[in-house]
């Protein structure tokens, strides 16, 4: 690969399995793919709250709520890495709006790249300041949504030359046919809708259940799979109250036999299997702000018909007839979309083909190659420009670097 020979030691700062969160899974998938396609062996700096790590890829640990750990981590990175990739999400770092990460960024003498997992349209002043400062100190800023480019440049005042679009990766796995998978899971002759991911009130699953209840009288063979554990933060604050409320709702609407809860943290293989047996994938999220959705990206990669509320990532990914957008918090609207898909087999097939065509451009192998190239291009110019005495002043002025 072009540029691979320029990379010696790169690291990823992120949550990491066994921590159960989307960022951890994203980072693991990306690093595993880099290992497959190159000789590069990235190191992981794991953001630790209460987890224990034995994974050989985890070379250092950052204590999430210990501010001094951020300074120590920067020093370790300076001594052991040529470049650091920071997977940024406000909630995984300590301090107000994750502000401790700025201490680490200011302590780095090596170039670093920021991958943004949350780009808010209307951030608080503190949220804006944290991401703006990270962008100012960084060499490059990666966004997984084209729509976030103008927001990063405008709202967060990040130099447009620094901003790079790389899509969210998706697995490329061969599986059995949809009908064989359905038969294996006792779902033969069922119309299967699924939602997966860590369960929380922000996912709006109750609207999906209500929509299914409205459609079942006409399609009694409908089955809605709700796949995933309760989000650890939700479970810690409110136990299983939300999940139980969903189960109670299904019972009260008389569709308990049309709803199946799979209460576990799914492996990648299980996710892909369930998606491939699904006729539709549903994301009834409540917030317009959702800039990226790994679950929707995975459904794209499997070529499923997607019904979604119009959050930002869904609007971008489902344009040009690649899916159906419902109204927010509106089970009637979701039900109408489901009926449209179920009642039009040729239209459903056409949507699947359009979705798959885009999904095939987002495979982890393609995405990993883009990250490796970006890392290689970021290391050499930064090495030439960085004075040892004032590294951050130079990084902040690299707005003239050409984006790839």
The radius of gyration of the chain's CA atoms, rounded to the nearest angstrom, is 22
**pLDDT higher than threshold 50 for residue 387:** no
> Band of the pLDDT at 52, cuts 50, 70, 90?
confident
Hey, what's the torsion of the CAs at 288, 291, 292, 295, to 10 degrees?
A: 0
pLDDT at position 215, please? 98
pLDDT digits (tens, 9 = 90+) for 216-260: 999 999 999 999 999 988 998 999 999 999 999 999 999 999 999
**pLDDT higher than threshold 60 for residue 140:** yes
The answer to whether the CB of 298 falls within 8 A of the CB of 275 is: yes
**pLDDT higher than threshold 70 for residue 170:** yes
> Band of the pLDDT at 386, cuts 50, 70, 90?
very low
The answer to whether the CB of 226 falls within 8 A of the CB of 245 is: no
**pLDDT higher than threshold 50 for residue 67:** yes
Paired tokens of 225: 């799979």
Average pLDDT over residues 360-379: 95
pLDDT at position 8, please? 76
Hey, what's the torsion of the CAs at 84, 87, 89, 92, to 10 degrees?
A: -70
- Quick count: other Cβ atoms within 10 Å of Cβ 263? 12
How far lies 28's CA from each of 12, 13, 43, 333, in Å? 10, 11, 11, 36
Task: Return the ∠ at Cα 341 (arms to 268 and 214), rounded to 5°.
Answer: 95
Sorted by where each starts, the structural domains of the chain and their CATH numbers stand as 4-169+363-396 (3.40.50.2000), 178-362 (3.40.50.2000)
Lowest-pLDDT range of 50-59, 104-113, 304-313, 382-391: 382-391
Lowest-pLDDT range of 198-207, 272-281, 293-302, 393-402: 393-402
**pLDDT higher than threshold 50 for residue 2:** no
> Band of the pLDDT at 381, cuts 50, 70, 90?
low
Residues in contact with 239: Cβ distance below 8 Å, sequence separation at least 6, in sequence order: none
The answer to whether the CB of 355 falls within 8 A of the CB of 342 is: no
| DSSP class per residue in 298-329 | HHHHTT-EEEE---HHHHHHTTTTTSEE--TT
**pLDDT higher than threshold 50 for residue 402:** no
């Amino acid at each position: 690969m072009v540029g691979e020979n320029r990379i010696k030691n790169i690291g990823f700062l992120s949550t990491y399995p066994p921590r159960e969160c989307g960022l951890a899974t994203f980072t693991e998938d990306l690093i595993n793919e880099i290992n497959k396609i190159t000789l590069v062996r990235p190191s992981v700096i794991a953001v630790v709250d209460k987890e224990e790590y034995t994974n050989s890829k985890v070379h250092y640990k950052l204590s999430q709520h210990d501010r001094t750990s951020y300074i120590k981590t920067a020093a370790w990175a300076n001594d052991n890495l040529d470049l650091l990739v920071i997977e940024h999400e406000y909630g995984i770092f300590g301090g107000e709006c994750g502000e401790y990460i700025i201490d680490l960024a200011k302590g780095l003498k090596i170039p670093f790249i920021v991958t943004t997992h949350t780009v808010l349209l209307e951030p608080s002043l503190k949220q804006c300041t944290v991401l703006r400062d990270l962008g100012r100190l960084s060499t490059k800023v990666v966004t997984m949504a084209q729509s976030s480019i103008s927001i990063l440049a405008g709202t967060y005042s990040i130099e447009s030359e620094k901003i790079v679009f790389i899509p969210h990766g998706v697995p490329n796995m061969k599986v059995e046919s949809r009908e064989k998978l359905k038969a294996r899971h006792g779902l033969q002759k069922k119309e299967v809708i699924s939602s997966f991911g860590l369960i929380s009130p922000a996912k709006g699953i109750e609207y999906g259940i209500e929509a299914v209840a409205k459609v079942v009288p006409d399609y009694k063979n409908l089955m809605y799979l709700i796949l995933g554990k309760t989000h650890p933060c939700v479970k810690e604050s409110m136990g299983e109250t939300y999940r139980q409320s969903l189960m109670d709702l299904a019972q009260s609407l008389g569709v308990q036999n049309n709803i199946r809860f799979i209460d576990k943290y799914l492996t990648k293989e299980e996710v892909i299997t369930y998606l491939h047996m699904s006729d539709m994938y549903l994301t009834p999220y409540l917030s317009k702000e959702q800039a990226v959705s790994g679950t929707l990206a995975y459904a794209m990669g499997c070529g499923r018909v997607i019904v979604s509320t119009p959050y930002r990532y869904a609007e971008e990914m489902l344009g040009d007839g690649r899916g159906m957008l419902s109204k927010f918090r509106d089970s009637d609207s979701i039900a109408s979309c489901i009926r449209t898909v179920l009642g039009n087999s040729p239209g459903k097939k056409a949507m699947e083909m359009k979705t798959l065509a885009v999904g095939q451009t987002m495979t982890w192998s393609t995405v990993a190659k883009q990250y490796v190239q970006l890392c290689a291009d970021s290391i050499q110019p930064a090495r030439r420009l960085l004075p040892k005495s004032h590294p951050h002043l130079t990084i902040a002025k690299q707005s003239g670097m050409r984006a790839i």
